[in-house]
């Protein structure tokens, strides 16, 4: 029985890693849809989001069953509770990628991002891809040091997010209100995507250290 239990915990972790892969792929493809004004890719991102949603529902159900049947304590209990939390963040990251894709679809065949903003948006997309990839590694490796790196990536994202606004203000009058609205939303989607990745990493830190304070980092095994 304990073996089934152990497998179930490993399965939770595998599902979370798979969700980070799907969220990464969704945001990368949404960025392509956005920057290439590619409607087909936009549609595929919107459709594919259902897969992340269903993984989350599945993880939730399995977690509840685990809690009810196995009544885990200590670290195992934290694995299940943090898995539930992380899955919520990852599901939300999928939604944000879908929002980017919807923006591309809404304006198609028009471009959402004017030429002078493409470099910034691309950088945001690259940070987003990097941060979610690291979140996946952190879940798989329980690497608390790497978890701290995500904060640095997130700072970079915040700087880019602010720079979109600054650029918009500087060139006020040179572009339509539609462009300003679209870029504001778009930039916010990438920024929130990164926030959720940080939240995922923080949950792993909590899991490993038993503390929300990143200073107290003494190692525990994720899956007992």
Least Å from the CB of residue 40 to a second copy: 25
SS3 128: helix
Dist. CA 141–CA 96, nearest whole Å: 26
Work out which of 2, 4, 145, 172 binds a second copy, going by CB under 8 A: 172
Least Å from the CB of residue 123 to a second copy: 19
Q: Which is nearer to a second copy, 137 or 199 (CB)?
A: 199
Residue 71 makes contact with a second copy by CB under 8 A: yes
Dist. CA 79–CA 177, nearest whole Å: 46
Residues 12-31 close enough to bind a second copy by CB under 8 A: none
Only one of the segments 6-14, 27-35, 121-129, 179-187 lies at the binding site for a second copy (rule: CB under 8 A); that segment is 179-187
Cα–Cα–Cα angle for 40, 132, 31, nearest 5°?
25
Residues near 155 by Cβ (< 8 Å), separated by ≥ 6? Answer: none
Residues near 97 by Cβ (< 8 Å), separated by ≥ 6? Answer: 23, 26, 27, 29, 30, 45, 49, 189, 193
User: Is omega for the bond preceding 109 within 30 degrees of 0, making it cis?
Assistant: yes
Using the 8-state DSSP alphabet, how is residue 202 labeled?
H
Only one of the segments 9-17, 43-51, 81-89, 115-123 lies at the binding site for a second copy (rule: CB under 8 A); that segment is 81-89
Work out which of 6, 11, 85, 108 binds a second copy, going by CB under 8 A: 85
Q: Which is nearer to a second copy, 146 or 180 (CB)?
A: 180
Work out which of 10, 50, 57, 155 binds a second copy, going by CB under 8 A: 57
Q: Which is nearer to a second copy, 28 or 80 (CB)?
A: 80
Closest CA relative to residue 143, chosen from 92, 224, 209 = 209
Positions that interact with a second copy (CB under 8 A) = 57, 63-64, 67-68, 71, 73-74, 77-78, 81, 84-85, 88, 165, 168-169, 171-173, 175-178, 180-181, 184-185, 188, 212
């Amino acid at each position: 029985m304990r073996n089934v239990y152990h497998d179930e915990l490993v399965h939770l972790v595998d599902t979370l890693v798979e969700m980070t892969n799907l969220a990464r792929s969704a945001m990368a493809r949404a960025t392509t849809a956005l920057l290439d004004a590619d409607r087909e890719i936009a549609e595929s991102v919107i459709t594919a989001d259902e897969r992340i949603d269903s993984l989350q529902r599945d993880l939730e159900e399995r977690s509840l069953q685990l809690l009810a049947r196995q009544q885990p304590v200590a670290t195992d209990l934290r694995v299940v509770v943090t898995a539930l939390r992380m899955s919520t963040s990852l599901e939300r990251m999928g939604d944000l990628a879908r929002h980017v894709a919807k923006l591309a679809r809404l304006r198609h065949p028009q471009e959402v991002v004017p030429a002078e903003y493409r470099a910034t948006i691309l950088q945001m997309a690259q940070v987003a891809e990097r941060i979610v990839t690291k979140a996946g590694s952190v879940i798989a490796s329980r690497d608390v040091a790497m978890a701290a790196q995500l904060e640095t990536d997130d700072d970079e994202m915040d700087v880019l997010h602010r720079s979109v606004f600054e650029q918009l203000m500087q060139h006020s009058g040179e572009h339509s209100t539609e462009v300003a609205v679209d870029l504001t939303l778009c930039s916010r989607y990438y920024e929130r995507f990164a926030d959720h990745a940080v939240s995922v990493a923080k949950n792993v830190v909590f899991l490993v250290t038993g503390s929300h304070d990143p200073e107290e980092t003494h190692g525990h095994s994720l899956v007992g």
